[in-house]
Amino acid sequence: MMPRWALDAWLSAMFRGQSLDTPAEHYVALFKGDPGQDGAKGEISAPGYARQRVSFTPPREGVIENEKVLEFGKAPEAWGAVTHLAVFDAQVGGRMLWSAELDEYQDVKKHGRFEIEAGWLRIDFGNGGPS
């Protein structure tokens, strides 16, 4: 899901000639529930957790994917079930650019890890809209 502010900014840039403030870096965040429109609720907050910097492939038929494996730190204590992920423009705070619910939730137990394989994180505009 693209937050309303980002969709409005994109539409204004594409169809009204307004400038678009694009971030230089992108970070993936993990959530224990729907982050909502602004990403303010449910982000993992536990020892060993930090957002991970991500780079994306060039768009192809309306789709971009993460270029490299993303490895979140080892959990010194359980993080619980990760249900959603989101892309932000900052490692801490910042603006949420996109979010999605995972097809399969992943329970990160004590000493466990969360990893995203290269190409697994797909942002798809190929069907006429963000998904």
Q: How far apart are CA 65 and CA 35, in angstroms?
A: 21
Segments in 3-116 forming alpha helices (H): 4-16
Give the SS3 label for residue 129.
coil
Q: How far apart are CA 29 and CA 95, in angstroms?
A: 11
Q: What is the pTM of this model?
A: 0.88
For the chain, give me the number of helices (H) and strands (E)? Answer: 1, 8
pLDDT digits (tens, 9 = 90+) for 92-108: 999 999 999 999 999 99
Quote the mean pLDDT of the chain: 90
Beta bridge partners of 81: 107
pLDDT digits (tens, 9 = 90+) for 33-46: 999 988 889 999 99
